[in-house]
Copies of this chain bind each other. A is one copy, B any other.
Amino acid sequence: MSALTKPADHFPSSDDAKPVLYSSCMSSCSWRVRIALGLKGIPYDIKTDCKSSEYKEVNPMQQVPALCIDGHTLCDSVAIMQYLDETRPQHPLLPQDPYKRAKVLQIVHIICSGIQPLQNTCVLARVGEEESLEWAQHWISRGFDALEKVLSESSGKFCMGDEISMADCCLVPQVFNARRYQINLDLYPTIQRLDHGLGTNTTIRACHPYNQPDYLQK
């Protein structure tokens, strides 16, 4: 029996088989998935004890997020969002048109490959306290220069025209991090406009780190 078909014996029990999201309030990648679940109207339980020995059974890499759903444990925020979109078509997070899908994924990957990996906490720890702010600012600015150009052509009310998408799920946490590292957002009028609009959405606001059960523990 291969690992892909064996029963997930560490699968958390839930009375109504609700998905369980392992999430950390300040993790951008967890935040993306919280927004995707929220926009799709999928109820879920949240677990934040991601340093526990139980979590090591869920995800041997001990990274968040992980989503236990449909008898599977999924890791990686972009893979999870695509899975949700393929299995729960309500409130789609990717356009139907292949070219527009590719544009959404381009925006997603500018953020998820081009920016976030270079400014996450473990990279900044290795860069060292003295240089970490300048390092984060350099890579966020470089990414935002490109993102602003792309979004100035693609966006309407949202990153891709007037339909909300995976790109918006990724933009919100990244702009939060840009503010955290003191990026002047006036240089990025399209990014700033989109973020302001997304900030008025009550579903998205509910996913903010400050509204997470583990926030007060910090």
Residues of A within 8 A of B (CB): 2-4, 60-61, 63, 70, 72, 74-76, 78-80, 82-83, 86-87, 98-103, 105-106, 108-110, 112-114, 116-118, 123, 126, 135, 138, 146, 149, 153-154, 161
Contacts and interface: CB of A to CB of B under 8 A. Distances in A.
Contacts of A98: 83, 86-87
B99 A79 contact: no
Given A2-B153, A83-B101, A117-B118, 17 more contacts: A4-B99, A61-B146, A61-B149, A72-B102, A74-B102, A74-B106, A76-B102, A76-B105, A76-B109, A78-B105, A79-B102, A79-B103, A79-B105, A79-B109, A109-B113, A117-B117, A118-B123
A108 B70 CA distance: 22
B3 A154 contact: yes
Copies in the complex: 2
Contacts of A75: 106
Nearest to A100: B4
Label chain A's interface by main secondary structure: helix
Contacts of A138: 126
A83 B61 contact: no
A110 B61 CA distance: 11
Contacts of A83: 98-99, 101-102
Contact of A82 (B2, B102, B117, B135): B102
A4 B146 contact: no
B72 A99 contact: yes
